[in-house]
A and B are shown apart, each in its own frame.
Chain A
Amino acid sequence: MAPLTSVCGMEIDTGNTAWLLVSAALVMLMTPALGFFYAGLVGRKNALSTIVHSFFILCLVSVQFVLWGYTLAFGPDHGGLIGGLDWLGLTGVGLVPNPDYAPGVPHQAYMVFQMMFAVITPALITGAFAERISFRAFVVFVLLWSTFVYAPIAHWVWGNGGWLRNLGVLDFAGGTVVHISSGVSALVAALVVGRRLVRAEPHNATMTVLGASLLWFGWFGFNAGSALTAGALATSAFVVTNTAAAMGALTWLTVSWLHRGQPSALGASLGAVAGLVAITPASGFVNVTAAILIGLGAGVACYLATLLRPLLRVDDALDVWAVHGIGGTWGALATGVFATVAINSAGADGLLFGNPGQLLIQLVGVAATWCYAGIATAVILKAIQLTIGLRVHERDEVMGLDRSQHGEIAYGLD
């Protein structure tokens, strides 16, 4: 049994607390890793600005979340839609555990774990408008999106009293909250911001493979950490996460080999991320063979979705919608198919275990997230477009955002 301490008479499980804090650190690493993953996929004159997008969000949302993000997402419920302002500036969010969210660990440990999810979600969107958004517009967008899109959806799904949580939607680590919300918002952002003047080829595939590998590493905190306990459920989530990532990579590589004639290194990286995205909502509810099928489905579905980009004529520069929107949707629905209470008694059985109703519930969660994220993101971007503008000047876009927005360059020889 883990050693116990206590705060104000409430017991702290030090083992669970240690795991949650380490998991928060693992998830933190994912945001700069995402910056490198994306930076390898853009042209060399936009590499630094792409990394800065992720790094800046880490800083910005870290402060936004303690000031008002956490209370809106997890504070006392108002109508199932949003948290109240009772915990503004972390008032009342101290070291005493909150039994509604994470019994036995300090409330601030749970808060900082959730903060890292709030950080990476808007960072995912930046891949859609890479190489053309102005830094000023980007900052305003992230603040508004984190407040008016991320916080409400997080409350619906994870907040105590949230309407999707009450409905029975299963989302272990963020298939709807993180991936569908960011993926759909990315598609809308690419539409509103418009196409790049010139579509650059990936300038550094090694950077992308390294970024994907670090994302994979951090994802163990993302999914296994979402068990909130250092025990059997975390172990199961860890194993299915690794399995689905591997299967996603193998599948995407194979499908792209079939389609283009060569096994692609970038394809393997994107496939791993697609597998990780898809297993995210399911990771605490499914067994290992289900993870293999979920990874397989992600590799096929997300690769096919990337082929739609030229047909849709939407310049989602780094395929955020294809990987996170479609991967997240597949994962959320697959949870309704493969979930079993044999893995998690607090979950539910899915279609294959005699409960087709769970698939319908998952469908409601997916539809609500698609609609709200899409509409709210469009409103936010239009408001920014009509006030301070979204894009850099054409001359600055040709020059590259590294030089035009930051006065710096990624490489000495430019």
Chain B
Amino acid sequence: MDIAAFVAFAVLVLAWLALPMRAAGVELMGEEQQAA
């Protein structure tokens, strides 16, 4: 169980390093967007 916990955390950290970031930018949220 202890090893599984270390592995789980390590997988998350590696994922943050490896995951690509969508380049589209921030989408507007809320009703301002609907109004627009």
B36 within 8 A of A: no
A289 to B4, CA, bound (A): 8
Tell whether A296 is near chain B: CB-to-CB under 8 Å.
Answer: yes
Is there an interface contact between B30 and A292, defined as CB atoms closer than 8 Å?
no
Q: Are B8 and A254 in contact (CB under 8 A)?
A: no
A261 to B26, CA, bound (A): 11
- Out of B9, B20, B21, name the residue touching A292 (CB < 8 Å): B9
CA separation between A201 and B32, bound complex, in Å?
A: 10
Chain A residues whose CB sits within 8 angstroms of the CB of B5 once the complex forms? 288-290, 292-293
A201 and B20 CA atoms in complex are apart in Å by 25
Chain B nearest CB, measured from A119 CB (Å): 30
B5-36 at interface with A (beta carbon < 8 Å): 5, 8-9, 12, 15-16, 19-22, 24, 29-31, 33-34
Interface size class of B (residues with CB under 8 A): 10 to 19
- The distance in angstroms between the C-alpha atoms of A382 and B17, with both chains bound, is 51
Contacts of A289 in B (CB 8 A): 1-2, 4-5
A residues less than 8 Å from B12 (CB atoms): 250-251, 254
Per-residue contact bits, chain A 278-292, to B (CB 8 Å; 1 contact, 0 not): 000000000011101
The CA of A323 and the CA of B2, in the complex, are separated in Å by: 26
| A288, B34: Cα distance in complex, Å | 45
In the complex, the answer to whether B15 meets A201 with C-beta atoms within 8 Å is: no
A200 adjacent to B8 (CB under 8 Å): no
Shortest A21–chain B CB gap in Å is: 34
Residues of A within 8 A of B20 (CB): 261
Question: Would you call A103 an interface residue if the criterion is a C-beta within 8 Å of the partner chain's C-beta atoms?
Answer: no
**B15:A203 contact, CB within 8 angstroms:** no
Tell me if A338 and B1 are in contact (CB < 8 A): yes
Given the known interface contacts A251-B12, A260-B22, A262-B22, the answer about A202 and B1 at a Cβ–Cβ threshold of 8 Å is no
Cα of A289 to Cα of B6 in the assembled complex, Å:
8
A residues bordering B, Cβ < 8 Å? 43-45, 200-205, 247, 250-251, 254, 257-258, 260-263, 288-290, 292-293, 296, 338, 352
Q: List 5 A-B contacts (CB under 8 A).
A: A44-B30, A200-B31, A200-B34, A201-B31, A293-B8
- Measured CB to CB, the residues of B under 8 A from A are 1-2, 4-5, 8-9, 12, 15-16, 19-22, 24, 29-31, 33-34
6 closest A-B pairs by beta carbon, nearest first, are A261-B22, A289-B5, A292-B5, A203-B30, A289-B2, A296-B8
